[in-house]
Structure 1
Amino acid sequence: MSIGELSQRSGASPRMLRYYEQQGLLNPVRGDNGYRRYCPDAVTTVAQIRGLLDAGLPTDAIRQILPCAHGSEPTIDPCPEILSALAHEKERLDERIRHLSTSRDTLDRYLIATHAALHRD
């Protein structure tokens, strides 16, 4: 199928599909005319990519995980390399959550102090 067809079937823009190709996540073949041709399974692959991106994974991790992903649901073969990559990404997200929580708590303290100062005057 063409990039336009894949875009319609997957809901991803042609620009995003080209980005996925640049990142090594999609591998279309080129026809004699130079146009990209995608296999029918590419719709499922795009769904997996989008799901993994929505989970906060970077494209480097997705490139590792994608060969073990099956179907449009988040189903991945339990090979040790993939489990390690997923655990690493979860740890990275946990650290970001801790940092964001600290930032939010700091902002809360400033808001409370500022609100209290306004009502003292």
Structure 2
Amino acid sequence: MRIGELGRRAGVSPRTLRHYEELGLLAARRRANGYRDYDERDLRVVAEIRSLVDLGFALEETRPFVECLRAGNPTGASCPDSRAVQRRKLTEVDEWLARLHAVRRELVAQLGEPPVPRCSFSEES
């Protein structure tokens, strides 16, 4: 499939796909006429990248997941390097939540009001 079709099917612009290619996250094959050519594996790679970016991963952090898929694994999270990135991201999210909870406590204290019930983002609660 050509870049426009891949973009439509993946929900991204051709410009985004070219950017992924510049970063080495996507590898287009070239037709005799010079057009980029993609297949279903590329669609899967782009979908993986987009889902990770939607979760807050930086593009560079998606690289191990892309490499895992390219190696023929069923998911981008099947490989040890991908799992390590997921663990780092989870630690980062936990740190953000702790900072946000601290800010909330400080704001409640400054207001001098009883704490308002809050949503709990912890799975342990």
Q: TM-score, normalised by structure 1?
A: 0.72
Contact map agreement 2:28 2:38 (CA 8 A) in 1: yes
Root-mean-square deviation (CA), in Å? Answer: 2.4
The alignment partner of 2:40 has SS state of coil
Deviation by residue 1:30-88 (Cα, 9 ceiling, x = unmatched): 334332211232222211111111122122221012222456xx6631x3322222111
The answer for the alignment partner of 1:31 in structure 2 is 31
The answer for the alignment partner of 1:9 in structure 2 is 9
Deviation by residue 1:11-42 (Cα, 9 ceiling, x = unmatched): 11212212222222211123343322112322
Take 1:13 and 1:106, find their aligned partners in 2: how far apart are those partners?
A: 43
| Greater relative CO, 1 or 2 (CA 8 Å, sep 6+) | 1
* Equivalences, count: 110
1:98-117 → structure 2 map (5 Å cutoff) = 98-110=98-110, 112=111
Take 2:61 and 2:68, find their aligned partners in 1: how far apart are those partners?
A: 12
Corresponding position: 1:76 with 2:69: no
Take 1:23 and 1:93, find their aligned partners in 2: how far apart are those partners?
A: 25
The alignment partner of 1:47 has SS state of helix
The 3 A distance-change label for structure 1 pair 107 and 5 is same
The amino acid of 2:29's aligned partner reads V
Q: Report sequence identity in percent.
A: 35
The answer for the alignment partner of 1:95 in structure 2 is 95
Take 1:107 and 1:21, find their aligned partners in 2: how far apart are those partners?
A: 45
